[in-house]
Amino acid sequence: MTGILEGRVALITGASRGIGAAVAEAFAREGAHLILVARTVGGLEETDDRVKAAGGEATLVPMDLTDFEAINRLGASIYERWGKLDVLVANHGILGVLSPISHYDPKLWDEVMTVNLSSCQRLVRSLDPLLRQSDAGRAIFVTSGAAVGERPNWGAYAVSKAALEAMVRAYAGETRRTNLRINLLNPGGTRTKMRATAFPGEDPMTLKTPEDIAPAFLDLASPACVAHGERIDAQG
């Protein structure tokens, strides 16, 4: 019995730990060849071990997604090797600090915006032609509950995720007459390092694990997915 991603090429950012690593393992079980992107070589190698244990294989790409020229080279390399990309999971991001807007350090503000928002636009710019070469291109952008409503002290993180949602909705509208399916996924409260930083007093054992929410990513990555331009709550 073949997996739902058999023979498909999937790129996952933020793949060195947490949600990215869990999604990589789940995709590997379903037959995808993985392109794993993260800054840390050691973390990528640990995820690669999980992928191999699940019966899959991966290409490891250590890179900083604020290096926009590297993103351009990544797209070119994928084209040369595979000629297409079937799935993009934009899972990377940084929290910054929890602080009032009026107190936010300008340099850190710009860094959060670059990592959480601008790098996603550059990924779209580089990889959209490859997704269009797929018979069922899928892109999943990880958002947050912080993007919605009044979020005092969430600063650049909340703003970056709200802007990301606006960008992805625009991208979905631009691709509505194609084979692409572009969606946002909100993992909700999940047992990750970022969550522990944002909520240091929270009992992590009350939260779902990254492995618990990986099936939501599989649904949106599947060629059978019909959702487009939607914001999905993985735990909702």
Tell me the angle at which helices 18-29 and 41-53 cross, rounded to the nearest 10 degrees: 30
SS3 string of 185-223? EECCCECCHHHHHHCCCCCHHHCECHHHHHHHHHHHHCC
Q: State whether residue 147 is helix, strand or coil.
A: helix
Residue corresponding to tokens 């969430």: 154
CA-wise closest residue to 8 among 184, 182, 186, 130: 130
Rg of the chain, C-alpha, whole Å: 17
- Going from the C-alpha of 104 to that of each of 99, 108, 109, 160, the distances in angstroms are 6, 8, 7, 14
Residues labelled catalytic: 157
Compute CA 144 distance to the chain's CA centroid, rounded to the nearest angstrom: 12
Helices in 54-118 by DSSP H: which ranges? 68-81, 106-113
